[in-house]
Amino acid sequence: MNIIDRRLNPKGKSLPNRQRLLRRLKTQVRKAVAQSIAGRRVTEIDADRSVPVPMEGIGEPSFRKGMGGTRDMVWPGNQKFVKGDRVPRPPGGEAAGRDGAESGEGEDDFTFTLSREEFLDIFFEDLELPDMVKRRLKQSTASVPVRAGFSVSGGPQSLDVVRTMRNSMARRLALGRPRDEDLEELEAMLAEAQASGDRDAVVRLEAEIGRMRQRRLTIPWVDPVDVRYRRFESRPHPVAQAVMFCLMDVSGSMNEHMKDLAKRFFMLLYLFLQRRYEAVEVVFIRHTHEAKEVDEDTFFTSRETGGTVVSSALETASRIMTERFPVDSWNIYIAQASDGDNLSSDANRVLAEMTNRLLPACQYFAYLEVGDPPSDNWEDRSGPSELWRTYESLLAETVPLAMRRANTASEIFGVFRELFARNGVSSS
Amino acid sequence: MTLLYEGREWNFDKVRRAHDAVSEIALDELGLDVYPCQVEVITFEQMLDAYASIGLPILYHHWSFGKRFVRDEVLYRKGFQGLAYEIVINSDPCLCYIMEENSMTMQTLVLAHAAFGHNHFFKNNHLFRQWTDATAILDYLSFARDFVSRCEDRYGVDAVERILDAAHALQMQGINRYTRRPKRSLADELARESERQAYLETTWNPLWSTLPGQKQEAPPAGVTVAPEDRAPSVEFPEENLLYFLEKNSPVLKGWEREILRIVRNLAQYFYPQRQTKMMNEGCATFVHYEIMNRLHEKRMIDDGAFIEFLHSHTSVTFQPSFEDRRYGGLNPYALGFAVMQDIQRICRDPTGEDRDWFPDIAGNGDPMGTLRDIWAHYRDESFLLQFLSPKVIRDFRMISLHGEEGRSYFEVAAIHDEQGYRSVRAALAREYECARIDPEIEVVDANMAGNRRLYLENRVHDGQRLDPPSLRATLQHVRNLWGYPVTLRETDARTGKRLSDGETEVS
């Protein structure tokens, strides 16, 4: 008999089958992901929570007998029936019969869950992110050096003295380097011999001492082969903290579709920040003609009436910034979603607020102008909006401002293009 | 004798010792004949993987296996379903997977059950000997996996999936149930023809042609294709649908035919297992029961281990009554084990009833020889028909029911009494007859010169028609493989008449 331990063999041999199943269930998976996005908080986008996907439409047909017709069967455990009796049919047909169990049909009404990786893949797919960016989002990129054993080369600042001396001592012992004590002893004996005038002993001892000195020279105290340096590996590690301001216009003109786009936009920025920073705070500010800091539920669900004054939101953001998030200890990101309406008289205040307070303080200001899904009606295509024109005048090489108009989810990424590109990702 | 092991924990040394002790009993005392065996220890995740690929260690990739994996995983993680303690592959050497979570007693039990019980059955049963090739299966599986994955690389996952979906739908129609007539050589054929001619010439008598009123035989019902439209090389009817499509489909490419062949070969490989499921499990259960008892008698396992064994043995052979919530059909382990134990009893210590029913084996004093012979030469259906004894029918309190379509009740046809034994036995044996479980579908005709329509026929027994939605979907798969319209007709097997709305077409 052979007995083989297979426990260390790779598991997950069935993974390709799972991928094929996902391909097959594409529509259901996408629907489940979309629903899940609606139900998730922005900060939970990355959470390791499973998404149930109903397994519909993946039956495996075959030529098999239906339930009809006459049939005979034998059952065990009869307690009370005799020949000629009538036994009521069990409810649900003859599900107990063998046919139903064998075909494997009728068991498809259960769900299976997407892993976090699979969820993010599909989330990204909707947003049409370039592959490089996807990879960056899925891993963390910042790194810190971490001790990882020893090496024979390195800078003097990373010399490991203990390890070096241990090696040196081992080498000295192994090669038999004369110790200081041995030398001193011989010298003492030499002095004694000189004092007593024993010439033979003096010659012998001097030769002995000479040999010993020579040996001490050829076998050095510390040899380059002994030297060890502490080795460091760079491990990915989030480095600092960031705050993300989500600004959204909630006036009546923002419909559900626009809000969904805005939510995906905030989620994407959050994912990006979360990869780069240890802690990410999120501040939600909604505005109509006046702005208010709210929690996430209110942010996405409530609907206000009123005009649209963007500067009110910007002012609130900068007030919160000075109160709670000092620029020197926080990386500040601002994401704004709006349909572009603004009171025309507000433009100057917006410009002042942006140039004086927000743009100098923040790492990145992303503006997403959301619109309805594209229609064929050319009349719908209006020119640039009020707010767009205002921000456009701010654009310059050095200004950390990106803006984008999006009607569908696939267009959102453009607003972040520069943000990802700046981190060494070339986006095509 | 000294104990083989103590306590729950197992290690490789103990497993080896247990295997040697079990092997001694199995080969010397029970006289089993097995393939050399290779035991592989796996984790529960690997067991789930193995489940997904229908128990095979290597298999090509397909979404339906992923679906099976998801289902088993959900059931397992929620605790609705335990995992098998072992999986055994009909191969030479016999592969036997055991789980690392098992206790030492379970490992011993599993070795006795799978490495000797199933192994003996695989090696000796005539169905496996005739239809499966244990030495080649592992090589064939790895060929199949590589071939399918090469096809996916070259022609795309979608194209391969389309063929595999269709082939899977038809795999129960991809089995040869009888060996084919060997092909005659041309020389044989000519010799036969001239012999026949010579016979006709010697016996020719003009008197016969003067007989009046010779009617031409009417063509059989259902013929729609003119003889000149048929392809001369194709023989009808053909019950192996996948084989027919592989050889004769006008549209399939070479690699697609090869994939059909792979699915067909695997279905064929599993067909003996379907036909002998109950006997196979019964044999393995009987063997492990014998071996564990003998190990205990010889004081090679202690009482604690024996109790643990009995606990798991009784839960495996538990048969709830049909009124029980847990009832899910007859338990093959329970039934097979009970009948085999009863055969042992009949051989050793028969009653008068047994002598009436089983004159050939009653009191022959050689239960193991009798059982070995039975394991070699029967399948589920014939085994029950021959060896289900009145005692087992009584012990199981079996009841035979007859149900007519449209009635809200079943009528009791027989119970476990003197008048009922034979009909219960016959009814139960019929339930295990694969040819009855599967519908009887044949390719009856194909128009090769004209519109290329393919005609299938389903011969309906006892009014058990095909499940309509599944029928349409499967017919669509046939159409994909055939490339041209397909018609399936349902006819009554007894009268040969077409049933009402018994024609389904996919064009």
- Is the pLDDT confidence value at A100 over 50? no
Place of tokens 């040969």: B496
Alpha helices in A292-357 (DSSP H): 296-301, 310-324, 347-353
Tell me whether residues B63 and A79 touch, CB distance under 8 A: no
Tell me whether residues B405 and A70 touch, CB distance under 8 A: yes
Tell me whether residues A98 and B45 touch, CB distance under 8 A: no
- Is the pLDDT confidence value at A167 over 90? yes
Place of tokens 């025309």: A344
In total, the C-beta contacts within 8 angstroms joining chain A to chain B are 269
In angstroms, what separates the C-alpha of B173 from chain A's closest C-alpha? 8
Q: Does A80 touch chain B (CB under 8 A)?
A: no
Average pLDDT value for residue range B277-301 = 94
Q: Is the dihedral of CA B153, B159, B163, B169 positive or negative?
A: positive
In angstroms, what separates the C-alpha of B113 from chain A's closest C-alpha? 15
- Side-chain-facing half-sphere of A47: CA atoms under 13 Å: 12
> A284 has which bridge partners?
A246, A294
**Per-residue model confidence (pLDDT) at position B266:** 93
pLDDT digits (tens, 9 = 90+) for A308-324: 888 888 889 989 988 88
Average pLDDT value for residue range A323-338 = 82
Average pLDDT value for residue range A356-384 = 74
Q: How would you classify the pairing of strands B498-506 and B486-492?
A: antiparallel
- Nearest 5°: the CA angle B282, B287, B290 is 125
Q: Which of A42-46, B142-146, B336-340, B408-412 has the lowest mean pLDDT?
A: A42-46
Please check whether residues B408 and B479 belong to one and the same domain: no
Tell me whether residues A71 and B430 touch, CB distance under 8 A: no
Best mutation target, B54, B72, B322, to test chain A (most A CBs within 10 A): B322
Q: Which residues of B touch A82 (CB under 8 A)?
A: 412, 415
Are the CB atoms for B284 and B84 separated by under 8 Å? no
Tell me whether residues A72 and B40 touch, CB distance under 8 A: no
Q: Does A396 touch chain B (CB under 8 A)?
A: no
Tell me whether residues A61 and B474 touch, CB distance under 8 A: yes
**Which value does ipTM take for this structure?**
0.82
Close Cβ partners of A35 (under 8 Å, ≥ 6 residues apart)? none
Q: Which residues of B touch A20 (CB under 8 A)?
A: 61-63, 66, 157, 161
Distance CA B222, CA B214 (A): 24
Nearest Cα to Cα of residue B99 among A323, A40, A7: A7
Q: Which residues of A touch B437 (CB under 8 A)?
A: 65, 98-99, 102
Average pLDDT value for residue range B359-376 = 93
pLDDT band at B291 (very low <50, low <70, confident <90, very high): very high
Nearest Cα to Cα of residue B105 among B288, B232, B268, B259: B288
Helices B63-77 + B44-52 axis angle, to 10: 140
Distance CA B279, CA B269 (A): 17
From residue B378, give the alpha-carbon distance in Å to each of A163, A271, B382, B386.
75, 65, 6, 9
> B442 has which bridge partners?
B457
In angstroms, what separates the C-alpha of A81 from chain B's closest C-alpha? 7
**Per-residue model confidence (pLDDT) at position B343:** 96
Assigned domain for B177 exists: no
In angstroms, what separates the C-alpha of B468 from chain A's closest C-alpha? 8
**Max CA pair span of chain B:** 93
pLDDT digits (tens, 9 = 90+) for B413-472: 999 999 999 999 999 999 999 888 889 999 988 888 888 899 999 999 888 899 888 899
Q: Which residues of A touch B43 (CB under 8 A)?
A: 7, 11
How many other C-beta atoms are found inside a 10 Å radius of the C-beta of residue B368? 14
**Per-residue model confidence (pLDDT) at position B180:** 67
- Is the pLDDT confidence value at A94 over 50? no
Per-state percent for chain B, helix, strand, coil, to nearest 5: 55, 10, 35
**Per-residue model confidence (pLDDT) at position A101:** 36
Phi and psi torsions of A66, nearest 5°: -80, -165
Average pLDDT value for residue range B113-128 = 94
Please check whether residues B446 and B427 belong to one and the same domain: no
Best mutation target, B51, B67, B86, to test chain A (most A CBs within 10 A): B67
From residue A420, give the alpha-carbon distance in Å to each of A131, A236, A427, B247.
12, 18, 8, 56
Tell me whether residues A64 and B466 touch, CB distance under 8 A: yes
CA-nearest residue to B327 within chain A is A96
More confident position, A399 or B19: B19
Q: How would you classify the pairing of strands A229-236 and A86-88?
A: unpaired
CA-nearest residue to B161 within chain A is A20
Q: Which residues of B touch A65 (CB under 8 A)?
A: 437, 439, 464-467
**Per-residue model confidence (pLDDT) at position A31:** 79
Distance CA A266, CA B160 (A): 40
Nearest Cα to Cα of residue A272 among A144, A118, A421, A115: A421
**Per-residue model confidence (pLDDT) at position A423:** 47
Please check whether residues B377 and B481 belong to one and the same domain: no
Best mutation target, A65, A74, A78, A87, to test chain B (most B CBs within 10 A): A74
Tell me whether residues A18 and B70 touch, CB distance under 8 A: yes
Choosing from B387, B402, B436, the residue where a domain stops is B436
pLDDT band at A102 (very low <50, low <70, confident <90, very high): very low
Distance CA A211, CA A197 (A): 22
Nearest Cα to Cα of residue A309 among A340, A262, A335, A346: A346
More confident position, A385 or B143: B143
Please check whether residues B452 and B417 belong to one and the same domain: no
Q: Is the dihedral of CA A258, A264, A270, A273 positive or negative?
A: negative
From residue A229, give the alpha-carbon distance in Å to each of A143, A146, A156, A173, B373.
21, 14, 8, 22, 75
Average pLDDT value for residue range A66-71 = 84
From residue B332, give the alpha-carbon distance in Å to each of B269, B336, B338.
20, 6, 10
CA-nearest residue to A62 within chain B is B169
**Per-residue model confidence (pLDDT) at position A269:** 80
**Per-residue model confidence (pLDDT) at position A376:** 56
From residue A396, give the alpha-carbon distance in Å to each of A336, A348, A400, B365, B432.
19, 18, 8, 102, 81
> A283 has which bridge partners?
A245
Phi and psi torsions of B179, nearest 5°: -70, 145
**Per-residue model confidence (pLDDT) at position B422:** 93
Assigned domain for B113 exists: yes
In DSSP notation, B356-399 reads HH-TTTTT-S-HHHHHHHHHHH--HHHHHHHH--HHHHHHHT-E
User: DSSP 3-state assignment of A355?
Assistant: helix
Q: Which residues of B touch A9 (CB under 8 A)?
A: 42, 46
Assigned domain for B280 exists: no
Distance CA B295, CA B109 (A): 11
Q: Which residues of B touch A81 (CB under 8 A)?
A: 399, 412, 415
**Per-residue model confidence (pLDDT) at position B215:** 59
Please check whether residues B388 and B464 belong to one and the same domain: no
Tell me whether residues B172 and A62 touch, CB distance under 8 A: yes
CA-nearest residue to B407 within chain A is A89
Q: Does A162 touch chain B (CB under 8 A)?
A: no
Q: Which residues of B touch A75 (CB under 8 A)?
A: 322, 330, 398-399, 401
Element (H, E) at A164: helix A161-175
- Is the pLDDT confidence value at A414 over 60? yes
pLDDT band at B117 (very low <50, low <70, confident <90, very high): very high
What integer best gives the mean pLDDT of chain B? 89
- Is the pLDDT confidence value at A170 over 90? yes
Q: Which amino acid is at B62?
A: H
pLDDT digits (tens, 9 = 90+) for A106-134: 444 556 777 777 777 777 776 665 554 55
% of chain B with per-residue pLDDT over 90: 58
Please check whether residues B336 and B351 belong to one and the same domain: yes
Please check whether residues B362 and B449 belong to one and the same domain: no
User: DSSP 3-state assignment of A405?
Assistant: strand
Are the CB atoms for A243 and A335 separated by under 8 Å? no
CA-nearest residue to B423 within chain A is A74
Q: Which residues of B touch A56 (CB under 8 A)?
A: none
Distance CA B24, CA B26 (A): 6
- Is the pLDDT confidence value at B214 over 70? no
Q: Does A98 touch chain B (CB under 8 A)?
A: yes
- Nearest 5°: the CA angle B323, A77, A94 is 50
Q: Is the N-terminal amide bond of B93 cis, ω within 30° of 0?
A: yes
Please check whether residues B418 and B444 belong to one and the same domain: no
Q: Does A86 touch chain B (CB under 8 A)?
A: yes
Q: Is the dihedral of CA A61, A62, A68, A74 positive or negative?
A: negative
Interface of A with B in 38-77 (CB under 8 A): 55, 58-77
How many other C-beta atoms are found inside a 10 Å radius of the C-beta of residue A88? 8
Q: Which residues of B touch A84 (CB under 8 A)?
A: 411-412
In angstroms, what separates the C-alpha of B36 from chain A's closest C-alpha? 7
**Per-residue model confidence (pLDDT) at position A426:** 37
Q: Which of A37-51, A78-92, B479-493 has the lowest mean pLDDT?
A: A37-51
Q: Which residues of B touch A98 (CB under 8 A)?
A: 329, 431, 437
Distance from chain centroid for Cα A162: 39
% of chain A with per-residue pLDDT over 90: 7
Choosing from B101, B125, B149, the residue where a domain stops is B125
Q: Which residues of A touch B270 (CB under 8 A)?
A: none
Please check whether residues B405 and B384 belong to one and the same domain: yes
Tell me whether residues A4 and B48 touch, CB distance under 8 A: no
In angstroms, what separates the C-alpha of A95 from chain B's closest C-alpha? 9
- Nearest 5°: the CA angle B439, B440, B446 is 125
pLDDT digits (tens, 9 = 90+) for B142-198: 999 999 999 999 999 999 999 999 999 999 998 888 776 667 778 888 898 899 888
Return the structure tokens found at B67: 């679906």
Please check whether residues B432 and B329 belong to one and the same domain: yes
Please check whether residues B410 and B341 belong to one and the same domain: yes
Q: Which of A4, A13, A73 sits opposite B401 (nearest CB)?
A: A73
How many other C-beta atoms are found inside a 10 Å radius of the C-beta of residue A380? 10
Candidate ranges B49-58, B274-283, B465-474; pick with highest mean pLDDT = B274-283
- Is the pLDDT confidence value at A96 over 50? no
In angstroms, what separates the C-alpha of A47 from chain B's closest C-alpha? 21
pLDDT digits (tens, 9 = 90+) for B80-105: 666 677 889 899 889 999 888 889 99
- Nearest 5°: the CA angle A205, A208, A211 is 150
Return the structure tokens found at B200: 């006709």
**Per-residue model confidence (pLDDT) at position A97:** 40
**Local structure of residue A374 (DSSP, 8 states):** P
Q: How many domains does chain B have?
A: 3
Q: Which of B396, B408, B472 sits opposite A89 (nearest CB)?
A: B408
Close Cβ partners of B346 (under 8 Å, ≥ 6 residues apart)? B354, B358, B361, B362, B363, B389
Distance CA A340, CA A394 (A): 16
Q: Which residues of A touch B470 (CB under 8 A)?
A: 59, 61-64, 105
Choosing from B410, B436, B462, the residue where a domain stops is B436
More confident position, B257 or A270: B257
More confident position, A161 or A426: A161
- Nearest 5°: the CA angle A177, A181, A183 is 70
Tell me whether residues A63 and B466 touch, CB distance under 8 A: yes
Please check whether residues B61 and B87 belong to one and the same domain: yes
Return the structure tokens found at B423: 């009909």
Q: Which of A70, A72, A89 sits opposite B463 (nearest CB)?
A: A70
% of chain A with per-residue pLDDT over 70: 80
Tell me whether residues A21 and B12 touch, CB distance under 8 A: no
Domain of residue B89 covers 12-125
Distance CA B140, CA B146 (A): 10
Q: Which of B69, B398, B413 sits opposite A18 (nearest CB)?
A: B69
Q: How would you classify the pairing of strands B454-460 and B486-492?
A: parallel
pLDDT digits (tens, 9 = 90+) for A187-242: 998 888 888 888 888 898 889 999 999 999 899 999 888 999 988 887 765 546 77
Cβ-based burial of B357 (10 A; exposed 0-12, middle 13-18, buried ≥19): buried
Tell me whether residues B61 and A63 touch, CB distance under 8 A: no
